[in-house]
Structure formats: C-alpha cells, structure tokens
Structure 1
C-alpha cells in the first residue's frame, strides 16, 4: 500500500517546546499518549496512541483541526524503559498505499517481543499519514465496545448517533481540497518533524532510530534518507540519513524509484503524469484531477471502511452470520461484492448468484475479502487459511485462473498474483466457515483442490492468523487502511525529476549511508527478482505482500515468524 506530500516549512520546536517556555498545560495540549486496550495474546508489549500537534502551514488551506496533529502507534516492551530516548533502538515505519498505522500491529508486537527475548528493549513506531485524520472510527469503536457489528452499520449507514456524534458521510473530492497540497515534501517533513519533537537530540536519533516502511513506505524512506531539511546543502546534521542508524524494507526496497513496486497500483487509478509537474499540481489543486486514489468500487473510502467493519464482525463474533445479512445494499457495496465474489464472467454480468446468496460466517467473509486464495489483487492479500464447510469452485474472475501465471501478462501478473483462487459454490446451501492458517493440512482438512487437481492451499503457504488480522482491523484507534490516500504523494514521486522535488534531494549518498535489511515476501511485489548484495535480502517463503506485516509469531511446526525475528536481530545487532 503507499503515502503523502508537503507545502513546506513547519517549525516544530516552536510549537511543541515553545520559544517562550510554555506552561505545563500548553505542553500537555501539544502531545497526548493514550494506552490502547486490546486482546493481543502478546501481553508483554504495551501499545499506545501518540498524537503530537504539528500544524500544517497556512498555505495548505482549510482542513479539520485534527489534521494539524501527527499520530502514531507506539509499541514497547512492558519490562523496558518508559521513555523512548532510553530504548535500545526505535524502528519508525512508513505505511504503504491505502495503508494506516494499524497494519503494522503484528510485525510490531512480534519484533518488540523477540528483541526482548534477546535482552534488548526496542520500540516500534507505526506512522499514520496526514490523510488518515479524515477517517471516522466512531462506529468501529462503538461496535467493538458493544460486541456487535450492527452497531457500526447503524452508525455508518442508518443515521444512528453514537453519543452526540453522527456520521457525516464519506468525503468526495470537493471536500478534501487541502490534500492537493500534501505530497512528498510534506510526508517526509512530517516524519522529520515528528522525530525532532519526540527525540530532540540529533545524536540520539542518529544512534538509535531505524527508518523503514512497507511497500511505498520503502520509497518514502528512500526520499527521507536523501532529503535536505534545513535548506542548506552544506550542513548534514539535518539530512534525512543522519536521523537514522539503519534502514528496513518490508516487501519493498529503500530507494527513490517506483520501479520495484510496478504492478502495485491498478491501471487507471492515477492521473496521466505526462502533463508535467506544474500542470499536474494545478490539476490537483483545481480539482480537475482526483485528489485521492479512488475508484467507484473496490478501492475507495467506503470499501476501505468496509474492511474495518468486516474485521470488527470477525473479531466480535467469528462464527456468527451477522455481517452478511445486515450489510446494506448500495452501488459501491454491491459492485464491489460482485467483483470480488463472481465465479466467472457470466456470474459477474448476471449478478447471479450474488455474495448474499451464500451463508458465510463473519470469519469467512473477512477471509473472502483478504485471503490470497480469494482476493484477486495481490497487494491486498494475506495468507490466512481457506474456506471450509461446502463445495469450492475455481474463481475465474476477473481473469481466468490459467492466465494469472502467464508471463505475457507482464505487470498485470504481478498485480493479480499467482495463487489459485477459489470460491464457495453452493448458494442457499451449507454454512461456509473459515479454516485458519494453522489448520491447513490438519487431519480433518478436506484438502480442497482446483479443477486441475492442485491444492488451493498448503501449510507452507499459510502464515497469517485470521483472528489476529481481524483484531488489527478492529481494535486500533488508527486504522489498518487509508481511506483517503493523496494522489499528490505518488505523482510527486513519479515526477521526481521536477525542480520542485530535486531541490530537496541533496544527499544521494544517504541511501547507502546506513546498514539495511530487506525483508521480501516470497510471493510479494519483488518475487523472483535479484537485488544487489548491499540490500541484505531475506526472503520469507510463501508470504504475500501483507504477510510481512500480519504473519503470526508461531508458524507451522512451531517455527518462529521469519520477518519479525530477522528484523529484531538486525535492530539489536546494529
């Protein structure tokens, strides 16, 4: 998933520490930290939501007051120091496209816990971008508190208030005009300003902080490394690479190129950047070009929120059938279900049978949306198990199964992945349940096969616990997804040779100035590619793009999870 942009120059220290010695009340208003209560089985890790007031410049234009705060999820060892500057290491992570801080929950907890077992107290900071401030999590929180997904559906779709708050609706392009001015410059500036605010001593940052990210987050980290933050190329204490002791890349590379992410963004989702920087900028600011990456179905604010609702249902009542019957009918939901739950092209055209014709537990609904044997978009897939309870058929939509592995498809093949897709095949029939990742290959596994006799799933290809995936979507104050991903961020990166960008790219050696670890998914965006030795690559076999974030700490046969253990080892050693 990807990132965000700047209009320039924030003076963080004046706002947070204050040039005139602020009162305690003023300091309290500039930063908050709240413990996040949840049901993670890894109880040795403390999670807090941190919010720091770092306003956008006035030139960004009108925006909600909440968007003048930067937020992140902080994970630390319960037995370690409370103050971040006393931690042995701090890993700060940029999310990918359509991704928020909540997506890092599993890898953050697993890494912090593994480092503690090695005798080191590290922290993991999962960043939210500015655009995430536009999301309304009220219904999700209320549904979680009530243990009932219908509370959330009532809030988002039936006008029911939670307390004195009513849902204002999903925002169209006309209501997010300020995002046209939030791109690459603002995104890397936000990370820098946050680090300065939280760790004022530059030597501490340079000695303890590891900078990295997932997917597009690796590219953003690359730009952060080469960026000049004080406007004077002759000085380096402010350079991005000198805020980091090392780099980590999660199914991406630390680079300043989108080439490694080819296939991660669907065709037609982004405007034509052949216009040139000035015209694209003007098109975004005027609204001629879309200010967020969005489509009428499948990928937009509403569908991203639906993933959180599905996570909530699977978290509170995994074996119940509450979500599917209660889900409202509208063009966005119906079309998205039709795309994701059509067995073949004829089913898609006729709409029969529809997803609503099948009985599925809440866990099975979430699995159908995100598992790599059901979700056709590889960059939104995890390996979390498989359907159970009824007949399964090949899923030959949007592309016939035998074509997804055809190299002639080029980038499209990377977008669609190469896992065999399956789908329930008995409408108005049995209750379809979900077989979790660790029960694939168990003695009672029906071992579902494709029409060609291939197993849909094997133990070696299943790594993510669906219950923990559901928890990641439902329990965090900061979302797993990003509902309003700013187009300006990716067009800035695509037009990186424009003077408006190159004037900040002053320290190219920053990309190789620090040690790096590159942790790739075996079936991810860079599958099959050979990277130079300096990338220090470790491949996680069988993993999909999201699995590097979501994989369970204990794998088949009792093996420890490979990504988090390698990341902890790297952080401790370096």
Structure 2
C-alpha cells in the first residue's frame, strides 16, 4: 500500500479565523508541549476543563492534502483532535504511560468521546497511571461552523444558522453544497488512515514510543478504520515494517464494533434513505460519479441526517445546559421549512396519521428543555439505533406507545430501530413534560410508565447516560459531537472492500491480530444478539450504541462505568 505523500510544511501562519472561533468558545491558550511554531501546530486548553482531575485541550496540526485533491478551505489542511490528560500528569504526551487514540463512528465527531475520555483518564489515575485519550476529528469536520453554538444562546444560534443574523459580527456562510466539495471526492479510507498515521508521527516522532504506548481504536465505523490502519503500509515498501500500521500501536480497542476490514459487523445500521449509491455500480463508476458530482460527496438523508438538522442536536443541548427544567420554546422558534418539519414529524409522531397530518406537532406539547433533548437522543424516542443513548425517560404526565415508524414489540424492532419500546407524551397542550435523568429512574417517585401491552418502558438497569453530560458534550465541546459532512467515499470504499483498488490497501493483513484487542460491546447496541464467532467481548449490559461513549462515571448499580473501567485496565496492561 503506497500511501507516501510529499508533506512539505510551509511557514504560513494560521489564519485569524480559527483562533477567533476558539476564543469565542471560551478557551485559554496554553503552552504547547512541543517546540513548534503556530504555523504547524496549536494547542488550546479548554477553560474549566480540569474538573475531576482531567485537563482537555484542542490540538491542531498542519497536514496539507496532496495537490491532486484540488481547491479546499485552508482549514481543511489541518488535522484536529481533543486531548484529554491527567491534570497532575506529564505535559508531554510521550511521557504518558499510555495514549488511547480513537477514531469516531459514522456521522460522529471528536466531541462525542468527551465522557468516555474523561472517565478513562480518571479511572487510570485512580490506579496510579497517567494516560491520555485522543479523540480524533476527521478532516471533513473542518467545514463546520460552531459560531452560533458558541454564543451560548439558543435563539442566537437559531437566528445565526437559519435566519442569516450575525453573531459576534459574523454571518453564517450557509451549509456547504455538493458543488463546493469536489476535494472530498477523494477523501476515502486511504486518506483517512494516512491522516491518522501523519498525526501520530507528527505528535510522537519516535516510532518506538508509538509502538510501546499507543492504543489504536475507535467507535462503530472507527473500528473498521482502525482495521485498515493496522494492515496499512505507509512508505510504499512492504519489506520495511517500522512504518506499517500495526507497528504504530501496542494494542487495539473497539467500542460497539470490531477491529476488522469489513462492514459486515455493522450491517443494517445505515438508514435506507441515505444517498449512498448503488454499490453494484463498481469502484470505477462510483469514483467517476463522485469526481463529477453526479453522486453526492457527503452522506446525508432527507430526514435528521443532514447538516441542517444535525445542528439542531447542539442547539437542543444548549437549552438543556442553560435551563434544564424550564419550558422549551425551541420547537416553536425554529423556522418552518420542509427539512425541519419532516424531521420533527419523524421524531415526534405517535403514529402514521400524526406523521402524515402533522397533528399534533411537537410544538403543541409543553416540554422542558431536557425533554426536548431526550426526545432527540434517547433510545425510547429516536428510532435510529446508531443515534440512541439511554439517558432517562419522560416524566410529568401521561405517556403512550410511539408506533411510528414501527410498532412496539414487532419483528421489525431490532436492528436499525433498536431494541427498546418507543414512547411519547400523550397530551398536547397539557402538563409540562419534564425529564427523569438516568439516576432517578426507579426512584420511589418514579411513575413506572408501561406500554399498552404491560411492558415497562424502562428500568434503572437500562439507563446509563447523564442527560446533562450528554448536553454538555453536544453544546460545549470545541469540536462537534456530530459530523455534518461525512465523506461518501469513506463508506463506498469500505462497501467495495473486495475491489482491487481497496484490496491493495491491505498490505499487512496479519496486522489485525498482531496485538491484543479489547472489544467492548453495548448490550443493546448494533451487535446485540449477533456477536461474531470467536469474539470474546466485554458486554456493557443495558447500553445502547452511543452509551459506550456517553455513559456516566457511576452507574445505577453503584459501580464504576464499565467501558472506561475496562479501557483503563487495558491501558495498564494490554493483554
């Protein structure tokens, strides 16, 4: 696999736009642990991030794309990640005991790792070990604009992203269309693993340090990307293996996924209405379609999974952080366009009739800000399994079954839609529906809501994520929780894994098993009921797909969170 590139560094200073955005997010500049100038690397500490003995910073490293990619924004010639480390630990990453480097899943950004990163670093510190957790952002996240979210105000954010109003003197440039994304037509698995390799070698120049201290892994699709990294060759000469992907790692970890070079274990997790091309077209035809723009260069769907609607998750997070129990006005304040209306109907319709007529609509209910976020992210509301977390349940009034898009208890429930019964407030215009956080489910005052067939909607053992931590990850991270511009080519490459153009990238197939692997699966996640043969994972009971990233440090059984606990133990001794 010849992934060699000319990587000459230039001396151009980072343009003022990036520091301005960072300052708007309330960050404080801190000295970088490397003697590099800001023309090639910046590290910015996130203010107030040292809670619990964990310090967070955002790191950006200059890594220009090859000229063959064509014109792109200057920000897209930088790689970014969130660095978490023990506050009392070494400042230089190379001096840490271990470094966990995590690839995000599909439609996912570095901010999604905030809870598991903090918990892992804290658990390791309790054991006397100083580990770091690097949550990677894919290069395409360079297109996102966090200015409206950084304002800290829901109305200002809605006005900025949807009504053309300014925040701090800046006007939103709009969501980037396919015609302006020609450079992303080549942003597939080869460049993605090259980016991780380049970042590792830039941040940890000594290959022996990387091989001894780095644990490579990821969540969801990140497990497959890690698989390709382990099998890759980066100097074009398979006989020299110091550059081989597996020799950049001391071990591997997989979070509700497997470290592999196949999408098979994640099959059924992508909705059918995304704009992925018919894979029967073949590699050459698909690439020609991406190059010409006939095929969309980013993955999206008309409902929920597109930049305009995914921005709503962060905006909802803002409300839940600022005024958790206050009555939300967000549903009525949003613009009434087709995209947002269809998404609201999809997420908040009791049945098919309500979806088709739009009556009652979400704005007809009285919901707290936390309840709005719960409706968007909780496994008892959102019908897409890969977006689900177990963050509590509705409270404050009568609750009924949500039978759209599938009925509770039916054969279609697992897979794409998840395993939990769906629920919805019953009375529009009625009581203020609030949110019962994960750690209050099962309390003496819990109404114990049940489905029409008598099945309890939830229980204490099924709730694991603190909705306030989830809200902060969505609204207050300098790198986004979601990925608004996911490269279509990354998925089509993996779907076409048997094509010669992709098969050639697997130069060192033994790299997949060259080191110990920790696999942690969500008990109710994407692989629920179909654990691959020969795999002996740790199973986090009651967890959904996102819970392996978002779960609270202490669970309802009084025990420490199992994903981060196992990651910390694996970092101590990867066996």
TM-score range, shorter chain: over 0.9
1:185 equivalent in alignment to 2:190: yes
Aligned match of 1:283: 289
Q: Does structure 2 retain, via aligned residues, the 8 Å contact 1:7–1:186?
A: no
TM-score by length of 1: 0.93
Q: Does structure 2 retain, via aligned residues, the 8 Å contact 1:101–1:126?
A: yes
Q: Distance in 1 between matches of 2:497 and 2:432?
A: 51
* Equivalences for residues 432-511 of structure 1 within 5 A: 432-511=433-512
Q: Does structure 2 retain, via aligned residues, the 8 Å contact 1:229–1:504?
A: no
Deviation at 1:502, TM superposition (A): 2.3
Q: Does structure 2 retain, via aligned residues, the 8 Å contact 1:324–1:360?
A: no
Q: Distance in 1 between matches of 2:182 and 2:424?
A: 40
Q: Distance in 1 between matches of 2:496 and 2:10?
A: 32
1:201 equivalent in alignment to 2:206: yes
Aligned match of 2:344: 337
Aligned match of 1:328: 335
Aligned match of 2:27: none
1:425 equivalent in alignment to 2:426: yes
Aligned match of 2:322: 316
Q: Does structure 2 retain, via aligned residues, the 8 Å contact 1:7–1:60?
A: no
Deviation at 1:9, TM superposition (A): 3.9
Aligned match of 1:134: 143
Q: Does structure 2 retain, via aligned residues, the 8 Å contact 1:363–1:466?
A: yes
Tell me how many residue pairs correspond in the alignment: 551
Aligned match of 2:230: 225
Deviation at 1:81, TM superposition (A): 0.2
Deviation at 1:558, TM superposition (A): 1.7
Aligned match of 1:371: 378
Q: Distance in 1 between matches of 2:448 and 2:171?
A: 46
Q: Name the SS for the 1:92 alignment partner.
A: strand
Aligned match of 1:28: 38
CA 1:26–1:82: 2 relative to 1, 3 Å = closer
Q: Distance in 2 between matches of 1:561 and 1:151?
A: 36
Deviation at 1:67, TM superposition (A): 0.4
Q: Does structure 2 retain, via aligned residues, the 8 Å contact 1:531–1:537?
A: no
CA 1:196–1:11: 2 relative to 1, 3 Å = farther
Deviation at 1:14, TM superposition (A): 4.8
Q: Name the SS for the 2:557 alignment partner.
A: helix
Q: Distance in 1 between matches of 2:2 and 2:369?
A: 43
Q: Name the SS for the 2:409 alignment partner.
A: helix
CA 1:454–1:26: 2 relative to 1, 3 Å = closer
Deviation at 1:233, TM superposition (A): 1.0
Aligned match of 1:299: 305
Deviation at 1:8, TM superposition (A): 5.3
Deviation at 1:312, TM superposition (A): 1.2
Deviation at 1:26, TM superposition (A): 7.3
Aligned match of 1:238: 243
Deviation at 1:28, TM superposition (A): 2.2
CA 1:176–1:7: 2 relative to 1, 3 Å = farther
Q: Does structure 1 retain, via aligned residues, the 8 Å contact 2:99–2:214?
A: yes
Q: Name the SS for the 2:340 alignment partner.
A: helix
Q: Name the SS for the 2:80 alignment partner.
A: strand
Name the structure where helix makes up a greater proportion of residues: 1
Q: Distance in 1 between matches of 2:569 and 2:318?
A: 33
* Equivalences for residues 540-559 of structure 1 within 5 A: 540-559=540-559
Q: Distance in 2 between matches of 1:323 and 1:527?
A: 35
Which deviates more, 489-498 or 67-76? 489-498
Q: Distance in 1 between matches of 2:527 and 2:45?
A: 36
Q: Name the SS for the 1:568 alignment partner.
A: helix
Which deviates more, 537-546 or 167-176? 167-176
Aligned match of 2:361: 354
| 1:476-495 deviation per Cα after TM superposition (whole angstroms, max 9, x unaligned) | 11000000101000101111
Aligned match of 1:560: 560
Q: Distance in 1 between matches of 2:268 and 2:229?
A: 23
| 1:217-273 deviation per Cα after TM superposition (whole angstroms, max 9, x unaligned) | 000000000011111111111110000000000000000000000111112421111
CA 1:527–1:389: 2 relative to 1, 3 Å = same
